[in-house]
Amino acid sequence: MKSRIFFPLILLMFFLFGCNKDTTKTPEGTGEKMDKIVLKVAHNGPEEHPFQKGYEKFKEVLEAETGGVVEVQIFPNAQLGTEEEATQMVQLGLIAASASSTAGGLSTSVPEAELFNFPFIFRDLDHCYKVLDGPVGQWLARNIEEKLNCVVLGYWFSGIRNVWNRKRPVLNPDDLKGIKIRVMSSPLLVETFNTLGAQATPMAFGELYSALQMGVVDGAETDHFDLLYEKFHEVTKYVSYTNHMFLVIALIFSKKVYDKLPPSVQATVLKAGQASVSAEREAMDALTDSALAELKKLGLEFYEVDKSLFRDKVEQVYRNNAAKVGGMAIIEQVIKQ
C-alpha cells in the first residue's frame, strides 16, 4: 500500500500544503491572535451521503465557534484518494480528517477494529450505538489513536449491510455458492463470505459499478443508501435482508495536525466532532428509510432470510479471529451489552 500511493502523496503535498495560513484574526472572546487555519477533510461518499451531512455540521460548529479563524474544506467522492489512502494521509498529517470504516481504512492497520466486523455481532441499531458510545467504543478508540497517530472524534454509522446480486435470490448460505461478492478490504469480511460459500472479492468502492458491468463480480453487500445513490440498482436485481453487518465509521483527526492547533481550537475540534456524530447518524437513519422506499419503486426484488442459518455457518469465523481483536472476552462484552 505505501509504495503504491507514495507518488500520488508527493503530488498531493503541493495541493494540500500551499496556503494553510492567511491573515491574522482574533477568535471572538479568546483574546488570542491566530493565523487562518485551513483543515481539509475527506470521505468517499457522494455529496448526498450522510458523511457529507456530518462534515457539514463539523464545519458549521468549528468555523462559527472560532470566529472564522478555521476554514474546513470538505472533499467528498474520494477526491483525495480511496478510503485507505485518505486514512494514511491522516496518519501522515497530509489532511486533517477522514471517515474511516472498521472494514476499510482501519481494518488492515488496526486489527482490533475488526471487532465490529464480526457477522451478526449487533442485535439492532440501538445495541450498536450503545456499544460505540460506551466502554468498548472507548477501548477501540485508544487502539486506533495509538496505531494511526490520530484523535478519534467519534463514531459515525454507515448503514446496515445486506447482500445483493444479479444472478439469483439468496435465501440461505447454499444460494451464495459460486457468486462473486465484492467486499471491503477487511480480512474478516473476506473470510466471512468465503465461509458462507461465496467468492469474496475485495476491491475499492469506486471500482464496483464498472466491475458489475463487466462481470468481474456478481454482486456486493452494502446498505440501502449506497445501493440507490451509486445506481447499483441498474446492474443488480436481488436483495436479501441478511443484516449481517452494521458498518462503523471512525471520524479520525490527524494528531500531527491537532498538536499544531492552539488549545482553544483543539477543544472546539473535539466539540465539533461530537456534533457531527449526532448529525451524521440522524441523516443516515432518515435517508436509509427513503432509499429503501425508492429502491422498491425501481423494481428490485427483496427477500427475507432465516438469519440463524447464516449465523450457524459463520461460527468458525469467531473462533478463528477472536484472538486478533483481543479475545472472546471483548466479543462477549459487545454481545451482552
Residue 201's H or E segment, with its range, is strand 199-202
In this model, does residue 93 exceed pLDDT 90?
yes
What is 18-322's CATH number, 3.40.50.1100, 1.10.1530.10, 3.40.190.170, 3.40.50.300?
Answer: 3.40.190.170
Whether the model clears a pTM of 0.75, i.e. scores above it, the answer is: yes
- CA distances to 64, 104, 324 from 76, rounded to whole Å, are 22, 16, 32
Grid cell locating 73: 474544506
What DSSP element (H or E) covers 99?
strand 97-101
User: Is pLDDT of 223 > 60?
Assistant: yes
Ramachandran angles phi, psi of 169, nearest 5°: -65, 140
Helix (H, G, I), strand (E, B) or coil at 77: coil
Place of cell 466539540: 271
Q: How far is CA 326 from CA 135, 228, 307, in A?
A: 14, 36, 26
Please give the Cα distance from 311 to 313 (Å, whole number): 5
Residue 24 CB neighbours (<10 A): 10
Phi, psi of 283 (to 5 degrees): -65, -40
Within the chain, where are the H helices?
Answer: 2-16, 50-65, 83-92, 125-132, 135-148, 187-195, 208-214, 224-229, 255-258, 263-297, 307-313, 315-321, 328-336
Q: Name the DSSP letter for residue 115.
A: G
Amino acid at 286: A
Which amino acid, residue 186? S
Grid look-up 428509510 returns 289
Q: What is the pLDDT of residue 104?
A: 86
* Confidence check: pLDDT of 116 > 90: yes
Going by pLDDT thresholds of 50, 70 and 90, the confidence category of residue 144 is very high
Q: How far is CA 113 from CA 7, 105, 127, 266, 284, in A?
A: 28, 10, 17, 25, 21
CA atoms lying within 13 Å on the CB side of residue 3: 0
Range in 63-67, 268-272, 289-293 the model is least confident about: 289-293
Q: Report residue 332 as a C-alpha cell.
A: 462477549
pLDDT tens for 175-214 read 999 999 999 989 999 999 999 999 999 998 889 999 999 9
pLDDT in tens, 244-279: 999 999 999 999 999 999 999 999 999 999 999 999
- pLDDT greater than 70 at residue 13: no
User: Radius of gyration of the chain from Cα atoms?
Assistant: 20
Say if residue 14's pLDDT is above 50.
no
Joined together, the cell numbers standing for residue 234 give 441498474
The grid coordinates listed for 200 are: 469474496
Instruction: Compute the mean pLDDT over every residue in the chain, rounded to the nearest whole number.
Output: 91
DSSP assignment of 215-272: TS-SEEEE-HHHHHHTTGGGS--EEEEEEEEEEEEEEEEEHHHHTTS-HHHHHHHHHH
Backbone φ and ψ of 62, nearest 5°? -65, -45
CA distances from 265 to 68, 73, 258 (A): 11, 16, 9
Given the DSSP bridges, would you call strands 301-304 and 150-165 parallel, antiparallel or unpaired? unpaired
Per-domain residue ranges of the chain: 18-322
